[in-house]
Amino acid sequence: MPVQRAFVKGGESELARIQRTKLNVVLTRKPSGAKLPPNAGTRIVEVLSAGRRIGRVIAFVPLDRHLAARLTGTTTGQQVALKNGGVLIEQNGPVRLQSRLPLANARDLLVGGTSYRVVATRLGEGHAVELVALKRSSAIAGDANAARWRVIGAGFGLIAALLTIAYAVAPAIAKNRLTRQERDQAERVLAHVGDGIFLVDLDGVIRLWNPAAEAITGLRADSIRGRPAQETIPGWNAITAIVPVAAKPGGMHDASSSAETVPLDIAGREIWLSIVGVALADGTVYAFRDVTRERRLEDQRSEFVATISHELRTPLASLHGAALTLREHGQQLSPQTQHDLLDMIAGQSRRLADLIEEILVAGQLDSGSLHVVSEPFDPEELVWATAAAARVRVDESMQIDVSMSTVLPMVRGDARRTRQVLSNLVDNAIKYSPDGGRIELIVDADEDYVRFSIRDEGIGIPLGEQKRIFDKFYRLDPDQRRGIGGSGLGLYICQALVRSMNGRIHVESDPGEGAVFTFELPVAERITATSAA
């Protein structure tokens, strides 16, 4: 191997010649004292001959403002910098920070008097330098950006991992170049990184598959190593078509090389990976991270925006139309039409208020700030009141009945929240019974729980969907082909409220025959012989 031969036989000029052909590499016979830029990420490989150390190859990446500028060029909309101790190296040069603490999670940071949102990741285990992505806080809209920042963070983490790992494993493909010790070292690095790392050689065969790759994908190294990637990784061809591969480990400034998010279908389970590659002389090393959760959040966010805009637009259009008609032609309209229009305004504004309440409650549930009291209350009163309020809103095609055991114990929970759950379930029963029918509110109790059931004769819910309807934003008919609107938040909120009162909720349904939603709340005190007397 030429480097080893140069160390054994060649003079200094031969070493200098090889060094000139490689960017950011130093070949030296001295154990120390190589001239490197201050602030450089380094990887040292010892060159051995007959068990004796005859020199070292030092690969380095200068962590300077040029690197910060090149990395910034690879991203859209955010700035990239390097943090070393209390100094942030930006594309315009170093800036002193007020704190030397590591930037563990996405947060706000004051740089030169301006507030930035930052995510950072260390350039490898045990490395003090951090790769930092910054965006002016003022430029960030308040929505679900957290998820997007986590994905950006994952992308940066991968690039950082690659910067270090590519040096660690670069010689690993040509095994004859490595001593046993170096190979062990590379393997130890790979066993301990949290990112999935794998190597695909020039024939497309997987040569290395680290423990994190096993953990993330569930694909075992034994069943993968030594086999073509195309046969073992589902959708490999599609993945290679979009995953960026940098020309060299330091080549992250290549515009195409920021990590790409791709789906992987493993035994019916879909996982999303943020993945990036680096081409080596003998193959390609890929690093990936599991971003399934972030992806789901992002999907939910888009779904939320789409549903809510639709849900807001419909009542707003009716309100606007009714108000305009009353203003322009109020005098000419019959008292009945005027009354109908005002009725519609009242109904639609109630729908808007309910929607806004749902969004607020869902937000409070997510942040854990929703206040739910726990005190004894009378379930009977609540059920009669809910049924009476619902009867006002339905026409004669619908009948709302109540059936209750004669003696019901007090319930422990929050009466207002329980009423909210009941009304929501009754509203759904009405909404999803477009042809009318009977709705029944049934309440009974055993020793420990009071059970509230809402039975309807509406469209019902297919068996496979009965669990998912409790998911946030989940709607069976998102395109509203049946013309029934909704935010997909109602059942999510019901379930969360019932659980917060130590209860449980479930549904039973035969599609086409209707549905029965049942929730149970704990009894406040048992009816004993004395207290019942």
Q: Interface residues with ligand ADP (CB under 6 A)?
A: 428-429, 432, 456, 458-461, 469, 474-477, 486-492, 515
Minimum distance of ligand ADP from residue 285's CB (angstroms) = 45
Report the interhelical angle of 415-431 vs 379-393 (nearest 10°).
30
Residue nearest to ligand ADP (CB): 486
Minimum distance of ligand ADP from residue 449's CB (angstroms) = 22
DSSP annotation of 291: -
Decide if 519 contacts 403 (C-beta within 8 A). no
Please tell me whether residue 244 adopts helix, strand or coil conformation.
coil
Residue among 108 and 366 whose Cβ is closer to ligand ADP: 366
Residue among 236 and 474 whose Cβ is closer to ligand ADP: 474
Closest CA to 68 of 130, 25, 137, 140: 130
Q: Which two structure tokens, joined as six digits, stand for 36?
A: 């490197």
Minimum distance of ligand ADP from residue 289's CB (angstroms) = 32
Residue among 7 and 432 whose Cβ is closer to ligand ADP: 432
Residue among 79 and 487 whose Cβ is closer to ligand ADP: 487
Residue among 469 and 496 whose Cβ is closer to ligand ADP: 469
Secondary element (H or E) of residue 32: none
Q: How many other C-beta atoms are found inside a 10 Å radius of the C-beta of residue 224?
A: 19
Residue among 85 and 511 whose Cβ is closer to ligand ADP: 511
What is the amino acid identity at position 414?
D
> 3-state DSSP helix/strand/coil percent for the chain, to nearest 5?
45, 30, 30
Minimum distance of ligand ADP from residue 298's CB (angstroms) = 20
Provide the H-helix boundaries in 39-103: 65-74
Minimum distance of ligand ADP from residue 377's CB (angstroms) = 24
Q: Which two structure tokens, joined as six digits, stand for 437?
A: 């029918």
Residue among 117 and 475 whose Cβ is closer to ligand ADP: 475
Minimum distance of ligand ADP from residue 352's CB (angstroms) = 14
Minimum distance of ligand ADP from residue 500's CB (angstroms) = 17
Q: Give the β-pairing of 245-246 and 206-209.
A: unpaired
Provide the H-helix boundaries in 330-431: 335-367, 379-393, 415-431
Gap between the Cα atoms of 329 and 483, Å rounded: 30
What is the amino acid identity at position 448?
D
Cα-based torsion angle of the residue sequence 230, 233, 237, 242 in order, rounded to the nearest 10 degrees: -150
Q: How many other C-beta atoms are found inside a 10 Å radius of the C-beta of residue 206?
A: 25
Residue among 262 and 422 whose Cβ is closer to ligand ADP: 422
Residue among 143 and 513 whose Cβ is closer to ligand ADP: 513
Residue among 240 and 433 whose Cβ is closer to ligand ADP: 433
Minimum distance of ligand ADP from residue 425's CB (angstroms) = 7
Minimum distance of ligand ADP from residue 494's CB (angstroms) = 7
Closest CA to 375 of 413, 421, 420, 408: 413
Report the interhelical angle of 490-500 vs 415-431 (nearest 10°).
150
Query: 413-441 as b/e, with b when 16 or more CB fall inside 10 Å?
Result: bbbebbbbbbbbbbbbbbbbbeeeeebbb
Decide if 205 contacts 228 (C-beta within 8 A). yes
Residue among 80 and 429 whose Cβ is closer to ligand ADP: 429
Gap between the Cα atoms of 152 and 288, Å rounded: 13
